[in-house]
Amino acid sequence: MAGSADDLFNNGMREILYADVGAYPLYVHCFGDILNRRLCVELENKGLLDESKEGPTGAGGTPSWFKIRHYLKSVLKKKPNVKGFDVLFLSRYRPIDIDGADGFKTDYLFTSVINEVSKSHPSPRIALVSVGGHGNLYTDGRVANFSLFEFLSPGLLLKSVVRSVLLRFRYRRIAKRLSTVQKKMFDGSFSLSSLLFYHLLDFCLSKTINSLKPKVVVANDDVLTFKPSTDRDFQLVVLQSALVTEQNERHRSLLFSSFLEDKLLSDYFCASGPQSESLKRKFPKDTKHLVVTGQPRFDKVAKADRIFDKDEICRKFGLAVSGKILFWATETHALPLKENRENIDAVYHALQSLQNVQLVVKLHPAEDQEAPLYRQNRSYTPLIVGGSKDLSELLFVCDLMITKSSTAAIEAAIMNKPIIVLNLSGEPDIMPYVEKGVALGAYRKGDLLRTIKDALHNMKVCEKLAMARDRFVYDYAYVQDGKASERVADLVVGLMKESHGKIITTR
């Protein structure tokens, strides 16, 4: 097979990838799925992709039938009675506790932006919409709370099923002419469950926007990268929520080089720092306007010394104030079972040899909150904290953070905490924390204990890590003035005013 991305789209694939699945052409979901499964890395290693063409980014993912059944429960729910809104915040379901409001949940990324929009605009009408299944609904009293799949109707369900079946049959006819590489790339995206999910998601997205009638839609880039097709005229602001890597941007470019249409470009992309802005400018655009705002969820981190009290936080979580606290930001939902067990065994084994050291395991919101893997290993008993608890508080009291690739490492760097990247996979690091000098790497089980001791007690190592932090924090998280949320809110409020025929103003 020739070494060009275009060769992947012969034998009838290009035409079917332009099929309309509701809010987007099918290629948006299909390429997102390919990127999520890291198939581009495999193809590039085999010499089957080159860099002769470049283009923008995508989004997507392949669901299971279990998840689809979960979403379909929404068909039976009473449909929400809605009115027009100024702003719609659209996020994956990542709940955090609302300060001072037991049992109430809001979004981890948008909570501070919602506060700033409310301050900057008289009585704004705000909707917070979670892209989750049945029951995944925020309970934020500041806004109207919806789930995307609340808007699923029997008619949309029937339409999704029929169109998915027809596309599936169409692909099966094309599949007879595909190469082995093409089939590996596309079979997952053209399963009936994937096609059905794409249609359900797209139809509900369009129905939500058409029903809520927002002037501005603010989405994190894990949910939307491109502007969906709807009956409404609105501005789309995409907020960076994870690190932007050159490899991923390059692979997106290779896939989207000859597909992306201008009408799909977002109106604004809010980059967390100069590093992501630079990469976005290096590759062909996926947005009309690129701005650097910083990361809103880091605003609290920048003010940590003024708003947190170590003794109070330790009492809250049952931690001893004396001694050292190790904080582990876990990612079991994204790792193979074998690697997860090896990681847990390595961390527990190291802790057994350390005196006067406590381990706090902070579960990722997407992983099993019962923490079965951590409890099955009985060689050590850590403090296990649920995914909705305040990450910033635990980072503030810890003396050392351990992770593989979590963006929580950026927060740790802002708080001047040493970081260890635990990567026992045998593969290169996903995130460049070690490369940029703000983290130590532990790549074998036997390395971890020594690395922990260096990070806690070796002054030369600690000084070297500290020297790299300032540049890293600026590049990846911009100016730490606690005003990233204000900058995003200024943009959103300006667009709201513009929609009323007023001039955009900023603070």
Structure tokens, 434: 């070690």
Q: What is the pLDDT of residue 248?
A: 87
Q: Residue 414: pLDDT above 90? A: yes
Q: State how far the Cα of 269 lies from the Cα of 495, in Å rounded to an integer.
A: 14
Q: How many other CB atoms are found less than 10 A from the CB of residue 231?
A: 9
Q: What are phi and psi of 374, to 5 degrees?
A: -75, -30
DSSP 266: B
Q: What is the pLDDT of residue 290?
A: 96
Q: What is the pLDDT of residue 181?
A: 85
Radius of gyration of the chain (CA): 23
Return mean pLDDT, the chain. Answer: 88
Q: What is the pLDDT of residue 127?
A: 96
Which pLDDT band, with edges at 50, 70 and 90, does 54 fall under? very low
Structure tokens, 234: 């609105």
Q: Are 416 and 409 in contact (CB under 8 A)?
A: no
Domains of the chain plus CATH, in order, are: 1-298+482-507 (no CATH), 304-477 (3.40.50.12580)
Percent of the chain with pLDDT over 90: 66
Strands 87-92 and 216-220, how do they pair? Answer: parallel
Average the pLDDT over each of 67-71, 105-109, 239-243, 430-434 and give the range with the smallest value: 67-71
Higher model confidence: residue 495 or residue 73? 495
What are the angstrom distances between the C-alpha of 459 and each of 354, 379, 422, 465?
18, 30, 21, 10
The angle formed by the CA atoms of residues 52, 53 and 58, to the nearest 5 degrees, is: 140
Which pLDDT band, with edges at 50, 70 and 90, does 312 fall under? very high
Element housing 208 (H / E): helix 192-212
Q: Residue 503: pLDDT above 70? A: no
Which pLDDT band, with edges at 50, 70 and 90, does 103 fall under? low
Structure tokens, 269: 């992309």
Average the pLDDT over each of 60-74, 174-188, 201-215, 315-329 and give the range with the smallest value: 60-74
Q: State how far the Cα of 26 lies from the Cα of 2, in Å rounded to an integer.
A: 24
Q: What are phi and psi of 88, to 5 degrees?
A: -120, 120
Q: Considering the entire predicted model, what is its pTM?
A: 0.88
Which pLDDT band, with edges at 50, 70 and 90, does 161 fall under? very high
Q: What is the pLDDT of residue 506?
A: 34
Q: What is the mean pLDDT of residues 311-325?
A: 94
Q: What is the pLDDT of residue 6?
A: 63
Q: What is the mean pLDDT of residues 382-408?
A: 93
Q: State how far the Cα of 405 lies from the Cα of 412, in Å rounded to an integer.
A: 12
Q: What is the pLDDT of residue 471?
A: 96
Q: Residue 507: pLDDT above 60? A: no
Q: Are 300 and 391 in contact (CB under 8 A)?
A: no
Which pLDDT band, with edges at 50, 70 and 90, does 4 fall under? low
Q: Residue 51: pLDDT above 80? A: no
Q: State how far the Cα of 23 lies from the Cα of 459, in Å rounded to an integer.
A: 55
Q: Residue 224: pLDDT above 80? A: yes
Q: Residue 267: pLDDT above 50? A: yes
Question: Of 346, 326, 320, nearest to 417 (Cα)?
Answer: 326
Q: What is the mean pLDDT of residues 143-164?
A: 93
Q: What is the pLDDT of residue 44?
A: 52
Structure tokens, 249: 């941007």
Q: Are 266 and 237 in contact (CB under 8 A)?
A: yes
Residues pairing with 325 in the sheet: 358
Residues pairing with 131 in the sheet: 92
Q: Are 108 and 138 in contact (CB under 8 A)?
A: no
Q: State how far the Cα of 413 lies from the Cα of 472, in Å rounded to an integer.
A: 8
Q: Counting Cβ atoms within 10 Å, is residue 155 exposed (0-12), middle (13-18) or buried (19+)?
A: exposed
Sign of CA dihedral 343, 344, 345, 347: positive
Which pLDDT band, with edges at 50, 70 and 90, does 412 fall under? very high
Q: State how far the Cα of 292 lies from the Cα of 311, in Å rounded to an integer.
A: 36
Q: What is the pLDDT of residue 81?
A: 72
Question: Of 299, 274, 73, 215, nearest to 501 (Cα)?
Answer: 215
Q: Are 285 and 56 in contact (CB under 8 A)?
A: yes
Question: Of 196, 105, 104, nearest to 149 (Cα)?
Answer: 196
The size of the chain, in residues, is: 507
